[in-house]
Structure 1
Amino acid sequence: MLAGPAQNITKGRLQMFTLDNIISTYAGHRPEPIGKYRFFSVLVPFVEDEKGRVCLMYEVRAHDMVSQPGEICFPGGHMEKGETPLQCALRETEEETGIPVSAIKVIGQGDILYGYANYTLYTHLGVIRYEDYLKAHVQKDEVDEVFLVALEDIAGVRPEIFTENITTEIDDDFPYEKVGIDEDYAWRVGQWTIPIYDVDGRVIWGLTARITEKLLETLGE
């Protein structure tokens, strides 16, 4: 078993821990996640099509990708160091769809999705003109295509909702006696809601469906 950070602190360093040092350290401290954690950000693009209908723009991930091949999603990705969620969403949209940042009118920040697998997903809303949507040239190693779904069409679909349990799996060598518990200890568990929309043969599910569902709920309010 590897020693944790506290076990690696030497006695000499401990003697440096004065209240003045602690106060000065945390006066300028920038909070960060404890442990391994990831941040993602996506753009939720609205496009008014040639019929005057307000649509959502989705993309289909390339079918030969290692992660989530062929799934429908919003443009976005992993936040780079020093990048804000909005900067990430706009950068990824331009890289994946070829639609320049200058052609995106930002509406504001959407809701935040906190995942069970140590990640946070930010959303931002934006408007893309139909003529700019038509000029999209996707990055083929990541995206197969972009397409539109009218809000009125997806709002008229009742999604299938599945609720799955998230359980904890503990390694066999965990020192139960040392920490004063047994193998029947009630570890924290959770639930994960998975909506599935089927719109004109397009199946939208998972995180993208959850974002869509919350968006429709907010607009309906």
Structure 2
Amino acid sequence: MKKNAKKGLRKGRGSRNTLKIEDIEAVFAERKPGAEGNFKFFSVLVPLVEKEDDLYLLYEVRAKNMERQPGEICFPGGELEPVETTEECALRETWEEIGIPQEQIRVITQLDTLYTYSNFAMYCYLGVIPEAALEHLQFSENEVDEVFLVALNDLLAVTPEVYPIRAVPQIPEDFPYDKVYEGKPYPWRGGKGSVPIYEVDGRVIWGLTARITKHFLEIITEKEDTDV
């Protein structure tokens, strides 16, 4: 007898099992839902800082020795661990990257989730960091070179450049269309996205960080418009 991977049902060699509801229930009794296929989950904190009666967003500059996106601008965040919630991930990563304890961060809300065509989702949390916490930052040298603030009003005054992009499926030449689509080419679906670019205070904020920034600014300005 041989077990399927991940505590699946037992299969008899050369025979066909008669499955029962109880067998199916046993497989799923302790199984937690995840993502099918090669899919990953990340969380970021979108940190607001109130300073001298103005509001700022806090950004990081990734360390130049990092393998992925060295020197680029981002929000604090990283990959979700199995034992934590998406909010706990955002707070943990902020602590690990710039040394702000979780108890000093007040989470306002979860923002909209960002899905990408490259097989990952990014959960976003809007939080408030006290100005005093900025005096005691401790950077993870392997991850962060510096942090900086950008005034919300300065960001709102900028119209970002936005470039549309497309993800086009690449199908193997030997795909058996004759078996699945009567020999005709199948209309595979591609993906669509956009790449915003903000230039403000001598900095260039682009990519996913700019997408999160742009969406957040659109939300708060729409709310202002409805309040008028």
Whether these two folds match at TM > 0.5 is yes
| Equivalent AA in structure 1 for residue 195 of structure 2 | I
Q: CA deviation at 1:34?
A: 1.1
| Cα 1:187–1:181 shift into 2, 3 Å | farther
Measure, in 1, the Cα distance between the counterparts of 2:10 and 2:146: 52
Q: Where does residue 88 of structure 2 map in the other structure?
A: 87
Q: Where does residue 31 of structure 1 map in the other structure?
A: 33
Select between 179-188 and 85-94 the one with higher mean Cα deviation. 179-188
Select between 164-173 and 211-220 the one with higher mean Cα deviation. 164-173
| Cα 1:28–1:81 shift into 2, 3 Å | closer
Q: Where does residue 195 of structure 1 map in the other structure?
A: 196
Equivalent pairs: percent with the same residue?
A: 48
| Equivalent AA in structure 2 for residue 31 of structure 1 | P
| Cα 1:201–1:82 shift into 2, 3 Å | same
| Cα 1:197–1:181 shift into 2, 3 Å | farther
Secondary structure in structure 1 of the residue aligned to 2:127: strand
Secondary structure in structure 1 of the residue aligned to 2:90: helix
Alignment of 1:43-192 (within 5 A): 43-49=45-51, 51-180=52-181, 182=183, 184-192=185-193
Measure, in 1, the Cα distance between the counterparts of 2:11 and 2:148: 58
Q: CA RMSD in A?
A: 2.2
| Equivalent AA in structure 1 for residue 57 of structure 2 | L
Gaps of 5+ in 1: none
Measure, in 2, the Cα distance between the counterparts of 1:20 and 1:59: 51
Q: TM-score, normalised by structure 1?
A: 0.88
Gaps of 5+ in 2: 224-228
Q: CA deviation at 1:22?
A: 3.0
Q: TM-score, normalised by structure 2?
A: 0.86
Measure, in 2, the Cα distance between the counterparts of 1:140 and 1:106: 26
Measure, in 2, the Cα distance between the counterparts of 1:165 and 1:127: 35
CA contact (8 A) 2:178 2:184 kept: no
Counting matched residue pairs gives 214
| Cα 1:104–1:17 shift into 2, 3 Å | same
